[in-house]
Homo-oligomer: A and B are copies of this chain.
Amino acid sequence: MDNALVLKQMQKFWNNDMPFNQLLGLHITKFSPDKSEVRFSWQEQLVGNPMQKILHGGVTATALDLVGGVVAAANIIAQLEDLSPNSIEQSLRKLSTIDLRTDFLLPGRGEEFIATAVIIRSGSKVAVARMELHNEKNDHIAFGTGTYMVG
């Protein structure tokens, strides 16, 4: 099984079998070590304050944490020599978020939201990712920085 196929399968698994991602309607649309992407649509249930009709800050943090984890996972897989299911599972088992910072720039308004992530520090044990959240008009809603355990 080659690398691209593994990423495709993981994308499918993470999109279909992660309960909280499904509850929020988060879809991974790019699962790649260079830049990963998660999208979701506006829904009433994602609202924080009903008077202002803006996304709850926790939704933003969730999308940023997810897309940072996706790009970190893609980098773990890119460095694996053994692409057997067992090896992949062993490696990803170690993936976890150590810390996450979210900077809220604009109120979370829009119809569709796009979260993207790139790796800025890549190591055998720890990776750091930078994330951004935009809406469909390309308004820049939030920045994120996540430190992930990867090995």
List residues of chain A with CB under 8 Å of any chain B CB.
17-24, 44-52, 56-59, 61-63, 65-66, 69, 93, 96-105, 107, 120-121, 123, 125-126, 128, 130, 140, 143, 145, 147, 149, 151
Contacts and interface: CB of A to CB of B under 8 A. Distances in A.
B145 A101 contact: yes
A47 B24 CA distance: 12
Contacts of A143: 120, 130, 145
A23 B22 CA distance: 13
A145 B98 CA distance: 12
Q: Among A47, A93, A140, which residue has the most Cβ atoms of chain B within 10 A?
A: A47
Contacts of A145: 99, 101, 103, 143, 145
- Copies in the assembly, this chain: 4
A126 B128 CA distance: 13
Contacts of A58: 20, 24, 58-59, 61-63, 65-66
10 contacts: A19-B45, A23-B46, A52-B93, A57-B97, A58-B62, A97-B104, A98-B121, A100-B104, A103-B120, A123-B149
A40 B125 CA distance: 31
A11 to B, nearest CB: 15
A21 to B, nearest CB: 7
A98 B56 contact: no
Contacts of A104: 96-100, 121
